[in-house]
Amino acid sequence: MDRTVQRMFFFSILIVILVVSCKTTETDHSEIAAQSFAPTDHSDTHTLKSTYPNPVEISGIIKFTDPQYRYLWNTVPQDGKLVVFASTPRREFRKEEILYCVKDAARQIALFYAAKVETKQAVESTGKDFGYLESVKSGFDKNVADKELSKIKVLKHFRDAEGTYILAEDPDISVPVDFSWSVKNGTSPEWIINVPSIPGYLVSVGVVQRSRYLTSSLKKADDQALANLSRQISINVKSKRTDVEVENSTAYAQTHYEVSSTILKGFYVLGRWSEDHGNTFFTLAVCKQGIGN
């Protein structure tokens, strides 16, 4: 069998396994939604919008790694209070973008209370060749997110040609993280190269390639950090492993497939960054040790 055809065959097996698993994997936490949500009516939009500050209008596109804007991605707790950066792509009715941002902030705060992460991994080896596929999906409690909508305080509000961005907090939530980061000499934060050690916390850096929208890129990096944290936790993990072996006269292949489902508490993003002209995104995140994880 031609090696190229052979690799296509084996990876088709991996893809089928991942797709089928998405339909058949059972979860014990049905109250946790698998995705974020959007506004459902205009009355809700107008009621919430009146309490938010007007946006700072930026011509062109904000570069969040520039000195005047990078503080928006530095979400280390302010005075011990939880702070989140939230965003949304540009929409037809621009004045409604703030609500999408607030709902994204509520989603992130709900993840702090309880984050569900499902990871599906498939590894295929054929002689000297090696292939790896991974799927990560995060979930949150929608009821918690809904309650957060009335608690969120918008600290900063920006709008550029591509979307709207906010810094927001829930004044009632304290996050006692003894950590700070900055960018020295106009380069990059140290944590994108060396994962820091923070007493009392598990720490992870998620790294992903750019998606079409900034919001999607950030969420995928967050999800990757969440998946990395879940691998550090040995308790409350449900996993299933399947091995598939194929052999013929010229080749031998082995595929390992594993699914894990974890609930993390205290998941919190401390910082974000981008490199390679905005093509690579990083998320620095933590979860507290010993609170049910």
pLDDT tens readout for residues 110-168: 999 999 888 777 766 665 555 656 677 888 999 999 999 999 999 999 999 999 999 99
Least confident of 5-9, 147-151, 229-233, 283-287: 5-9
- The pair of structure tokens assigned to 13 is 């097996």
Mean pLDDT along residues 13-37: 42
Question: In angstroms, how far is CA 33 from the centroid of its own chain?
Answer: 15
Given a cut of 80, whether residue 239 has pLDDT beyond it is: no
- pTM for this one? 0.77
Strands (E), the chain: 32-33, 56-57, 81-89, 115-126, 129-141, 153-159, 163-174, 201-209, 238-247, 252-264, 268-275, 280-288
- Helices within the chain (DSSP H only): 3-24, 42-49, 97-113, 142-148, 214-231
The neighbouring-strand residues paired with 123 are: 132, 256
**pLDDT tier, 255 (very low <50, low <70, confident <90, very high otherwise):** low
Q: Which residue has the tokens 């009335």?
A: 150
- What does the chain come to in residues? 293
Q: Return the pLDDT at 38.
A: 38
Q: Which residue has the tokens 């040790």?
A: 289
- Most confident segment among 5-9, 213-217, 224-228, 277-281: 213-217
- The pair of structure tokens assigned to 173 is 């939530």
| Exposed e or buried b per residue across 100-139, where buried means at least 16 C-beta atoms within 10 angstroms of its C-beta | bbbbbbbbbbbbbbbbbbbbbbbebebeeeeeebeebbbb
* pLDDT above 90 as % of the chain: 56
Q: Return the pLDDT at 248.
A: 52
- The pair of structure tokens assigned to 223 is 């999800």
Q: Return the pLDDT at 155.
A: 96
| Exposed e or buried b per residue across 173-195, where buried means at least 16 C-beta atoms within 10 angstroms of its C-beta | bebebebebeeeeeeebebbeee
Q: Return the pLDDT at 278.
A: 87
Q: Could you state, in order of their start, the residue ranges of all structural domains in the chain?
A: 3-288
**Cα Rg for the chain, rounded, in angstroms?**
21
Average pLDDT, the chain: 79
Nearest to 283, CA basis, from 272, 267, 270, 268: 272
Q: Return the pLDDT at 101.
A: 98
**pLDDT tier, 54 (very low <50, low <70, confident <90, very high otherwise):** very high
Given a cut of 90, whether residue 20 has pLDDT beyond it is: no
Given a cut of 50, whether residue 34 has pLDDT beyond it is: no
Mean pLDDT along residues 3-30: 45
Given a cut of 80, whether residue 26 has pLDDT beyond it is: no
CB atoms within 10 A of CB 276: 9
Cβ atoms of 203 and 226 closer than 8 Å? no
pLDDT, tens digit (0-9, with 9 covering 90-100), for 92-114: 999 999 999 999 999 999 999 99
Mean pLDDT along residues 27-56: 52
**pLDDT tier, 247 (very low <50, low <70, confident <90, very high otherwise):** low
Question: What is d(CA 244, CA 154) in angstroms, rounded to the nearest whole number?
Answer: 51
